Structure 1
Amino acid sequence: MNQPAVLFDESHCEQCACGDGLDFSFSFAFQPIVDVANRTVFAHEALVRGTQGEGAMTILSRVNEKNRYAFDQICRVKAVKLASRLGMDSMLSINFMPNAVYKAEYCIRTTLAAAKTYNFDTNRIIFELTEDEKLTSVEHLAGIIEAYQEMGFSTAIDDFGAGYSRYNIMMASPPDLLKLDMALVRDVHREPNKQAVVAGIITMMERLGGRIVAEGVETEEEYYWLRSQGITLYQGYLFARPGFECLPEPEFPE
């Protein structure tokens, strides 16, 4: 059951900016999203890690109702700061929590300030919506996506095709990018049912004017089948593993 859109309280923005309620530190690993059409890095996704490279769940398990707003905002600032320090010249993809956004034009202010401080072009930022946020209303999500797009940011839906799919969001406010869930990608070259689903998603995105990212690609067989369907953006171990506080060089299949 959808909950109503969260009411805006500007005081929360001030709390987010100064990190109130957050009693742990974290960093990021970056994984490339490659464009095989021109053999370049299209973007890097910022993946939460512990300060010594510990897995994401060591950090995400500490996020709760009291600190999620501060965590979401600090994630954005830290990702922009580290990307700038590393000299990232690709797009930067940042996961965001819709339930931590009261009103997009206010909650984006810390991101804009960080981009200005660290000289990172806001036109190179992608905000990636995860499908875990099941309780956020369609109206609230669509409003966030539309606001971010109007501000010049790109938007993406992560893990599409597994669990709670956002087809309602696709109808209300299509994102710029849609990332196929790795459950759909795994062994797609030999599973006709998956092939049919992927083909339908490709057609949908073509008609909506967006692009698809195949994530979690691990084998050349998966890649070759997806490539035969016209997909050009990829993320996965076949190309590069995440690099802790660095930008790993991807490899491209022939």
Structure 2
Amino acid sequence: MQTGCQGCRRDSGFPLAFSMAFQPIVDTRAGTIFGHEALVRGTAGEGAGSILSKVDADNRYWFDQQCRVKAIELASRLFPAGGDTKLSINFLPNAVYEPRACIRQTLETAGRVGFPPDNIIFEFTENEPLDTAHLLRILTTYREIGFKTAIDDFGAGYAGLSLLAKFQPDIVKLDMDLIRNIDTNPARRAIVAHTLAMLADLGITALCEGVETEAEFDTLRGMGAHLFQGYYFGKPVFEGVGAWG
């Protein structure tokens, strides 16, 4: 385990073994798979809840570190060799004590298995209160190293627009609650249309997640979106990657 800071040394380990499933992110403008999001699973493919329910303040550093390692190791074997397929990894901001110390194992793993760091996207969700100053230090450090960054579940969290005013990530993933039935819901269409325009003005790529139907996809594509994720394009594949198109 890393020993880069006092917080890291306090971690007590994680009680369960786990693995990853990968869900495709598609670029319909280019007609390709842009990347895959790594989603934690039990070792027999059990749902994320069976693992995440065991994460607490005493083991979250170890869990966060091992998620990164597992995702990168699997991606190095599953993704096309020599390509630019992106790997999106969720991280826990509260598990990062000192950004440069806590990133060492990630970089060492990428180097060991030959996975390009600039093909890694670190995404975080804003569904719990965050120390914004600490989060900004993490995001700035990751950008300096060469990683891409993303906000997940945008529109359902705490930081929202105030965070975007301080830091513009590479990607913003629109929360699936905004996407659901957007083809029949004028309020959702108005909100998403203005959000897409705002992100374009900020130079941020929008990713619509949770797309489940052709009607949702057609509506969003007609609004200018081109990065998508959801069951309509492919379900998560346990320790594997699915095809699209």
Aligned match of 1:10: 5
Equivalent position SS for 1:241: coil
Among 117, 125, 137, which residue is 2:112 paired with? 117
Structure 2 residue 74 is matched with structure 1 residue 82: yes
Aligned match of 2:125: 130
- Alpha-carbon deviations, 1:168-222, whole Å to 9, x = none? 2111111100001110000111111111111121111111111000000011110
Among 202, 209, 213, which residue is 1:219 paired with? 213
Structure 2 residue 89 is matched with structure 1 residue 97: no
Q: CA deviation at 1:12?
A: 4.0
Which runs of 5 or more residues in structure 1 are unaligned?
1-7
Structure 1 CA distance, aligned partners of 2:146 and 2:128? 23
After TM superposition, the structure 1 = structure 2 runs for residues 87-236 of structure 1, keeping only pairs within 5 Å, are: 87-88=79-80, 89=83, 90-134=85-129, 136-236=130-230
Equivalent pair of 1:86/1:247 in contact (CA under 8 Å): yes
Structure 1 CA distance, aligned partners of 2:9 and 2:111? 18
- What amino acid does structure 1 have at the position aligned with 2:54? R
- TM-score, normalisation: structure 2: 0.94
Equivalent pair of 1:99/1:133 in contact (CA under 8 Å): no
Q: CA deviation at 1:11?
A: 3.9
Equivalent position SS for 2:90: strand
Among 3, 8, 20, which residue is 1:28 paired with? 20
Q: CA deviation at 1:144?
A: 1.1
Structure 1 CA distance, aligned partners of 2:140 and 2:40? 25
Structure 2 CA distance, aligned partners of 1:116 and 1:25? 23
Equivalent pair of 2:4/2:102 in contact (CA under 8 Å): no
Structure 2 CA distance, aligned partners of 1:146 and 1:133? 20
Aligned match of 1:5: none
Which runs of 5 or more residues in structure 2 are unaligned?
none
Structure 1 CA distance, aligned partners of 2:8 and 2:162? 28
User: Measured at CA, do residues 23 and 109 of structure 1 come closer, stay the same or move farther in structure 2, by a change above 3 Å?
Assistant: same
Q: CA deviation at 1:237?
A: 0.6
- Alpha-carbon deviations, 1:85-142, whole Å to 9, x = none? 22344100000000001121111111000000111000000000112232x2111111
Equivalent position SS for 2:234: coil
Equivalent pair of 1:31/1:247 in contact (CA under 8 Å): yes
- TM-score, normalisation: structure 1: 0.90
Identity of matched residues, %: 50
Structure 2 CA distance, aligned partners of 1:13 and 1:113? 17
Q: Which region of structure 1 is more displaced relative to structure 2, 107-116 or 155-164?
A: 155-164
Equivalent position SS for 2:142: helix
Equivalent position SS for 2:73: helix
Equivalent position SS for 1:47: strand
Among 50, 55, 60, which residue is 2:52 paired with? 60
Structure 2 CA distance, aligned partners of 1:199 and 1:79? 33
Structure 2 CA distance, aligned partners of 1:163 and 1:154? 21
- Alpha-carbon deviations, 1:196-252, whole Å to 9, x = none? 11112111111111100000001111011100111100000111010000001124x
